[in-house]
Structure 1
């Protein structure tokens, strides 16, 4: 049900209010919106009358927002951005539609990108827009049709498909180890540990699988992406627990060395996730069907 008219102000009036909060002056708002200052003033006054609320503090010729108006703008700014993005997607959408996909940056680059040319060749009528998201989000508010997610498949209101599991291995630069010899997994604790933000318990789980169940100091530096933690490891800043497929080339060339003989399967996995209410979207159906042919079991990753 659509709200009564008095609760749905004009886009122009809302844009004027948002711009005043962002730019700080009526003259700047007028310039951005290609209006006169008097026209901006009328827009704001009309908005106040419609909502029956004081939104603007008028000090001689200076306009500023009331505290309530600033809170209001915080909410409507997101809505205005969503309207603009939806309009852009509608204008650019091809015949079969557009898929708005949230991806993990490193997995997207190393796993998805090498495969996408095949999808583009098979389905030239589908456009895929990709945006990086490192943590779960609300499909309802962010407007994505699907996401590539690491962890488990428990995401409320969604369906999912397993893409691949992940094996991890501790690695470091040869210079960090020096003449030191590591004989047990516990010896790694003598070196600085590097942590990835999206895997907060990765080191704890790895040591547990090696039989190290007591209290140990797992403190260390934190990184938000695999691209940065890889560089930290390459420059000798510590030991990183890395997905094996991401460091194979560095291990082969000797830029990194493995501190354990075998990769261990991590607790999480990579999933394609989509909201239940979008499951039948034409673009998503084509992408999901194609992705099912790339999910485990499959050929090795392209290098």
Structure 2
């Protein structure tokens, strides 16, 4: 049973890797694959600027898309905004400064481009939508109009010129099975608090009570009071204070055996994964240490 619990927990941790939300780079890479599938070999592709709330984001999308397309098909010739500016200025002057789809096609045609890609970035709740449009320069017809959704991340907020805010305080409840037992395992409940002064580091405290329900000759209850230091190794969504973490734990265990109390040093380490959804979080964790040997549990709580 112990092995089964550990296997289930590890599988749950790994599910975070398999079902991670798409990042901005992942969305751009998908768009690049779709674009190259529509292009003829050795054709010229023009990449116009993507409309977005910041110049840094516009530049990043354009350059990252160009790099990704070239990585997919090195035979494609790519021209970007730098090549288009001079021609566009001339056309805007001729058309009283009005930039339209017709202007974009004229610019691309003068550069000898066979296709042109452009679009815009839109924000929707806690995610973003990248709208990508691809035109055939000769016919003026759309080859495709697609959207690529990706999630909030520290990178996107920096590119948009925002200081990413994050929830620094968490308060949650714990349900666990551990080896605070003489013969088998003990069920345990508790609560946890942590504060994150930095995006990858949290300090906090935990308290839990375990009852050895399988002990026949003695009543054994264990109380644990622990201080914690946590480091988030990687966040698959880019959001601060989420993702895979490792944690050091140290404190005291009090063993209530019948009417006697026996204190003991408690120390160990854990690894887990914090899934966050707005103000809520869920957190599977496995831990190893002394005197409990191992524990496997789940936290659920709120972030502030």
TM-score above 0.5, yes or no: no
TM-score by length of 1: 0.25
**Structure ranking higher in strand proportion:** 2
Identify the structure with the greater helix proportion: 1
